[in-house]
Amino acid sequence: MDAQAEPLKVAVLAGGRSSEHEVSLSSGAAVRDGLLAGGHTVVWIEIGRDGAWRLEGGPLSVTPGGGLLGVDVAFPVLHGPFGEDGTVQGLLETLDVAYAGAGVAASAVCLDKVLFKELMSAVGVPQVGYVGVRAERLDRARAEVLAEIAALGLPVFVKPAHLGSSVGIAKVSAPEEILGALEQAFAHDGLVIVEAMAAGVEVECAVLGSLSEERAQSGADAIASEPGEIVLSGEWYDYEAKYAPGGMELRIPAGISASARERVRALAVRTFLACGCDGLARVDFFVDGERVIVNELNTMPGFTPTSVYAKLAAASGIPYPRLVDRLCRLARERHEQRRAQRN
């Protein structure tokens, strides 16, 4: 914790209703430990798979406008639907409590992979070809949908539109596999995205919002980390590669040219700002020589000290306790600014 920053009382929200429940608990525990190491007080709120909020094992009720257990800031370390999609952010807004990370609109847009890509298209950010497919449209116009997917070429990746951690994703290398992959993804989500395969290496970049005094000095609304390269032991970046020991290696700095590196960092900040993000995000890229394209943006990536985001921040000079402290300070600044605007 910076010497001039006062200790805070922070509510850490972890768990949630999505299939990423266990990942969230791991991330939340790490955030809790980082805050404690920085001298803060932590209130642990666990959200069950049933959506119920629990404090010390008992049910927790909240009142609109009543804050949250007297905390200075909430840190919703939640992944996927019902936590990273604007729902919990909206609840925290109604409670009138500061909270770390993206707001309602940015959370909702960025968790919807199709809507995110449509926004990137509108602002001219380079990305892979894609097709968004709703289950009812596939039933109604199957030949048309399959023709759109065929135009992407092979292989393609079929993904639920609102999940992270590579849950429900399939790599498809033959036309006869498309329908099965779509049905598998529809088991998780009524909206599916099909993406063309991109050449090159996978590179990830952490973005961190700027505090008011930093913006006044530099004019930069956000800063980008040193990019890191994902080196896989398997064929592609699936769930096992992300979470199994030895599934992937993060190389910092990424093995790309200096010009591609700066392009990654600039596009990471541009994407962050275009989505209206706050606090933090991890932006993922494919880099092929000098060609850099955006894959996706994650508003609340895995957040253990060994997760990619924290490693990228550490490599850029921001150790874990200082990182979580900074995110709380950013949250409080945003909350105070919005209160002033309402008044």
User: Which candidate in 261, 282, 326, 329 is catalytic?
Assistant: 282
Q: Among this protein's residues, is 296 annotated catalytic? A: yes
The residue annotated as part of the active site, out of 298, 307, 325, 329, is 298
Please give the Cα distance from 328 to 73 (Å, whole number): 6
Active-site residue, selected from the candidate residues 33, 183, 243, 247: 243
Active site residue 165: yes
Question: Which one from 296, 309, 320, 333 is the annotated catalytic residue?
Answer: 296
Alpha carbon 107 to its chain's center = 8
Q: Under a CB-based contact definition with an 8 Å cutoff, are residues 31 and 12 in contact?
A: yes
Which of 165, 210, 225, 295 is flagged as catalytic? 165
| Residue 284 among the catalytic residues | yes
Active site includes 50?
Answer: no
Return the residue matching tokens 């009524």. Answer: 190
Q: CA–CA separation, 280 vs 298, rounded Å? A: 9
Catalytic residue among 20, 85, 112, 189, which? 20
Q: Is 99 a catalytic residue?
A: no
Task: Considering the candidates 204, 284, 325, 333, report the single residue annotated as catalytic.
Answer: 284
Query: Per the residue annotation, which of 83, 101, 164, 302 is the catalytic one?
Result: 302
Task: Look up 298 and say whether it is catalytic.
Answer: yes
Catalytic residues: 20, 165, 243, 282, 284, 296, 298, 302
